A and B are shown apart, each in its own frame.
Chain A
Amino acid sequence: MDAILSLEGVGKIFPGAVALSEVSLSIARGETHIILGENGAGKSTLIKLLAGIYQPDSGSIAFNGQAYRPKTPHDAQLSGIRIVHQELNLLPYLSIAENLMLEKLPRRAFGIVDGKALNSRALALLKEVGLDIDPRTRVEALGVAQMQLVEIAKALSNDSKLLVLDEPTATLTPPEIERLFAIIKRLKAKGVTIIYISHRLHEVFEIGDRVTVLRNGKLVATHDLQGLTVPHLVRMMIGRDIADEYGFDASIVPGTVALSVANLKRSAETPEISFAVRHGEILGVAGLVGSGRTEAMRALFGADPKLDGVVEIDGKPVAITAPKDAVRHGLSLLTEDRKGQGLLLDMAVDKNITITDLSKISRNGLINRRAESAAANDLVGQLRVKASSIEQAVRNLSGGNQQKVVLAKWLFRGTSTLILDEPTRGVDIGARREIYQLLWMLAAAKKGIIMVSSDLPELMGMCHRIIVFSKNKIVGDVPRAAFDQEHILSLAYQEYVRP
């Protein structure tokens, strides 16, 4: 085998965690290599070693037959390695175009940035990934999935020998994923080697040649993908089978309306929307990237201003102008952007969890640390958050474990209606199963649950009903009996294909 990259006995230790130990692996030139593993298994750490963000504590890496010891991300780029990291790293106050071209801004005389060339090149890159947005838009105005597409476009802006994608599809919907896969296949045909990490096990068969599974920092096995099935992968990853992933609980019958939204209008250009969720119901929200699902939820919650609309809780109209009103009336919103809007990255796990309701762990304004630890430990155990202790800074948790902390903080609040925007983003299949079970417990306790997800099979597995967004409009309300992937997708496309 002609190896483009080979790792020999690579190890990386953090105080509190052995992230990688004795990993030996070779990636063949031109292959698409899938890396799988539970949350915290060490996948992203491995990538960060290649990126020059961390240096290995032991072992050696060779790239193109030569010893490879990058000290900075710049070194990695010079060697021809491009990486799309799991956490998004765009500069929020610059435009999309500037973010895309930051390394090589097109210039005119005297170093003045050539705005025209900048935007036209950016436009071409955006077209390639299928993002239909003015490249002069500031990145802070984008949703997480759109940022993800910009990150991918950025990696494509330069030629590379090895392209690494760390969970690129965690927030994407089928059309974007299809387009990404087309790009991957095209690059592959050009001889580019690709390393691809994902928790969406069904998708890897379409592009992957071989798969490597990590568990607790150790390499479990490397296999040809051909002949393997999802259950094989699951067993390699978590050492057991998962039957009936979603565990739809038919015994739960939705009751009276918990939350209803009537004629919600976000801005002059967007249409009015109305929907409702019942007690004990899990309502799915489907739609393409940028279809206005997240924005609708944020407006309902008071996170963004709205022009008009009536929100009723248990039949009584409530005034919500800021998130604190929503929370007071028993709503929770788990945001899709965990890094920017969900977490206090430099604070500890326990403090992140209790921030939603400090009154539960305090008396007369004084925090009871023991009660706080107990509550946090409880949730950390329930969701199996992998952390060295609850005092670890959330920044140092793996992506999937950070996501579990975001979920934990709203479970701690325990409100009557939960709006979950991509609750299982980047969460491994074992832990997903546990989150689903938790959701069923909540539904059994008569809470209303709204679940926004880009993972259509997940919505179809979990929901009583799915409403479909297309270009800011609700175009369908599909009951469980009529669930059909093709049908829901065609609804999601509806407003875009219309002349």
Chain B
Amino acid sequence: MSETSQATISAPVSPGRAKFLRFLVRDAGVLLALVLITVFFSATAPYFATSGNALKIFVQIAINTVLAAGMTFVILSGGIDLSVGSVLALCTVVGATVMIDESLSPGVAILLALLACMATGAVCGFLNGWISTRWKIPSFIVTLGMLNMAAGAARVVSDNSTITGLPQSFVDFGNLIIGGFLPSIFLIAVLVIAAGWFVLRFTVFGRMIFAVGTNDEAVRLSGHNPDFYKVAAFTISGLTAGIAAMVYLLRLNIGSPIAGVGYELNAIAAVIIGGTSLSGGKGSIIGTLVGACILQVLSTGLQLLGVGDNFKPIVIGLVIVLAVILDAYRERLLRVIR
């Protein structure tokens, strides 16, 4: 058809520049916040800017980062998972029980423990997802139930006691600092994030997670089964809770039924500070890593500054609220830029 009308795509702001602006607002914002508070504490807190302290921070964020990676999937798909802390506890006692089995050689025991942790976590996560989609119950409620059930199960499995005596090679690996700067458990956390990033960014599955979180009815009417992806997201969250339990064992060398209390809130905080929207469909897992870093840097920095244990939670709580407020502004900005 011949016509006089204009080209379809007209752009005073070039798409490339819009992309860059989007990147600045979405990802660079949190990164900048991390840099700023790091600089702040380096300048004010004694011992903060030492390599020893940096190593300590890397070690400390590992568990939360792994949990938060799975949590990112759940929140992106439009749910929430309050059970990861006690699922982690359950997995630590399961993993430790397997590992101290004398009839197995250490290598086999460790491998089996890893599989047992991942399987236990995945089953808990699957149940979360299946129950909440099958009976259309908000995941908030279902995972609150799982929080209690898994905590109870952890006590049953461990007979309400901590489990010690893990293989020496396992303990040694947990203390390993590769090349003098990279703690082994931090490496695990980064690998989990990298895997999550790859899945969310490049795969069909990842695309569907975003789509389901954006509008699950539209996804259903497009010929998909949104529940499948929701259940998968919860299963992934359970799986990462299992991996986080292994990291816990590496770091603390005990399986404990009272491990992980409150971990779910730290994981959610990392995800939200990292810019993932609680209403689903928007966010990034790299942001989650940065969010976890921000939380730990704050915590360590405040401690080194001599802010008492009573005041620390107040400050951190404020930061979380601030992050959500900023998120509201960021959404508005992004809406205009896209």
A216: which B residues are within 8 A, CB to CB?
6
Tell me if B281 and A387 are in contact (CB < 8 A): no
Q: Mark A322-365, 1 if CB is under 8 A from B, else 0.
A: 11101110000101000011111111100100011011001001
A8 to B18, CA, bound (A): 30
With beta carbons under 8 angstroms apart, the residue of B3, B13, B222, B337 that contacts A323 is: B222
B6: which A residues are within 8 A, CB to CB?
216
Tell me if A344 and B18 are in contact (CB < 8 A): no
Tell me if A324 and B225 are in contact (CB < 8 A): yes
Is B210 in the interface zone, CB < 8 Å from A? yes
Tell me if B223 and A356 are in contact (CB < 8 A): yes
Q: Mark B31-56, 1 if CB is under 8 A from A, else 0.
A: 00000000000000000000000000
Tell me if A355 and B222 are in contact (CB < 8 A): yes
Tell me if B221 and A335 are in contact (CB < 8 A): yes
A276 to B337, CA, bound (A): 47
Tell me if A391 and B19 are in contact (CB < 8 A): yes
A72: which B residues are within 8 A, CB to CB?
none
Q: Mark B1-45, 1 if CB is under 8 A from A, else 0.
A: 101111011111101001101000000000000000000000000
**Closest CB-CB distance, B32 to chain A, in whole Å?**
21
Is B202 in the interface zone, CB < 8 Å from A? yes
Q: Is the interface of A mostly helix, strand, loop or mixed?
A: mixed
Is B335 in the interface zone, CB < 8 Å from A? yes
B336: which A residues are within 8 A, CB to CB?
14-15
Tell me if A347 and B211 are in contact (CB < 8 A): yes
Tell me if A239 and B207 are in contact (CB < 8 A): no
**Closest CB-CB distance, A58 to chain B, in whole Å?**
14
Tell me if A388 and B217 are in contact (CB < 8 A): no
Tell me if A366 and B203 are in contact (CB < 8 A): yes
A13: which B residues are within 8 A, CB to CB?
12
Q: Mark B191-233, 1 if CB is under 8 A from A, else 0.
A: 0000000000011110110110011011111111100000000
**Closest CB-CB distance, B204 to chain A, in whole Å?**
5
Tell me if A384 and B10 are in contact (CB < 8 A): no
With beta carbons under 8 angstroms apart, the residue of B18, B223, B282 that contacts A16 is: B18
B8: which A residues are within 8 A, CB to CB?
380-381, 384-387
A99 to B209, CA, bound (A): 32
Report how many A-B pairs have Cβ atoms within 8 Å. 133
With beta carbons under 8 angstroms apart, the residue of B21, B202, B223, B335 that contacts A367 is: B202
Smallest Cβ-Cβ distance to A437: which chain B residue = B1
With beta carbons under 8 angstroms apart, the residue of A238, A303, A365, A385 that contacts B221 is: A303
With beta carbons under 8 angstroms apart, the residue of B1, B10, B208, B282 that contacts A388 is: B10
With beta carbons under 8 angstroms apart, the residue of A15, A18, A358, A362 that contacts B337 is: A15
Is B332 in the interface zone, CB < 8 Å from A? no
Smallest Cβ-Cβ distance to A387: which chain B residue = B9
A345: which B residues are within 8 A, CB to CB?
214-215
The count of chain B contact residues (Cβ–Cβ below 8 Å) is: 40
Tell me if A341 and B210 are in contact (CB < 8 A): no
Tell me if B221 and A341 are in contact (CB < 8 A): yes
Is B134 in the interface zone, CB < 8 Å from A? no
Tell me if A323 and B221 are in contact (CB < 8 A): yes
Tell me if A17 and B210 are in contact (CB < 8 A): no
Smallest Cβ-Cβ distance to A381: which chain B residue = B8
Smallest Cβ-Cβ distance to B16: which chain A residue = A389
Smallest Cβ-Cβ distance to B11: which chain A residue = A388
A237 to B8, CA, bound (A): 16
A409: which B residues are within 8 A, CB to CB?
222
Is B136 in the interface zone, CB < 8 Å from A? no
Q: Mark A360-399, 1 if CB is under 8 A from B, else 0.
A: 0010011100000000000011001111110111011000
Tell me if B211 and A389 are in contact (CB < 8 A): no
Tell me if A15 and B21 are in contact (CB < 8 A): yes
**Closest CB-CB distance, A360 to chain B, in whole Å?**
11
A348 to B208, CA, bound (A): 14
A358 to B217, CA, bound (A): 17
- 8 A Cβ contacts from A213-265 to B: 216, 238-240
When A323-B222, A366-B202, A396-B335 are in contact, do A18 and B214 touch as well, CB less than 8 Å? Answer: no
A385: which B residues are within 8 A, CB to CB?
8
Is A434 in the interface zone, CB < 8 Å from B? yes
Tell me if A388 and B13 are in contact (CB < 8 A): yes
Q: Mark B298-338, 1 if CB is under 8 A from A, else 0.
A: 00000000000000000000000000000000000001111
When A239-B5, A343-B215 are in contact, do A358 and B223 touch as well, CB less than 8 Å? Answer: no
Which of B203, B207, B221 counts the most chain A CB atoms within 10 A? B221
Is A52 in the interface zone, CB < 8 Å from B? no
Which of A328, A345, A384 counts the most chain B CB atoms within 10 A? A384
When A238-B5, A323-B221, A347-B281 are in contact, do A393 and B12 touch as well, CB less than 8 Å? Answer: no
Is A130 in the interface zone, CB < 8 Å from B? no
Tell me if B204 and A365 are in contact (CB < 8 A): yes
With beta carbons under 8 angstroms apart, the residue of A16, A333, A430 that contacts B12 is: A16
When A391-B338, A393-B335, A395-B335 are in contact, do A15 and B281 touch as well, CB less than 8 Å? Answer: no
Tell me if A15 and B13 are in contact (CB < 8 A): yes
A327: which B residues are within 8 A, CB to CB?
222-223
**Closest CB-CB distance, A307 to chain B, in whole Å?**
21
**Closest CB-CB distance, B281 to chain A, in whole Å?**
6
B13: which A residues are within 8 A, CB to CB?
15-16, 388
Smallest Cβ-Cβ distance to B215: which chain A residue = A344
A348: which B residues are within 8 A, CB to CB?
338
Smallest Cβ-Cβ distance to A238: which chain B residue = B5
B225: which A residues are within 8 A, CB to CB?
322, 324
**What are some 9 contacts across the A-B interface (CB < 8 A)?**
A16-B12, A18-B12, A327-B223, A333-B221, A344-B218, A348-B338, A388-B15, A391-B18, A395-B335
Top 4 nearest A-B pairs (CB, nearest first) are A327-B223, A389-B15, A393-B338, A15-B13
Additional pairs, 13, CB under 8 Å, beyond known A356-B222, A430-B3: A14-B336, A15-B337, A16-B338, A239-B5, A333-B221, A344-B218, A344-B219, A344-B281, A351-B210, A365-B203, A367-B204, A386-B8, A392-B338
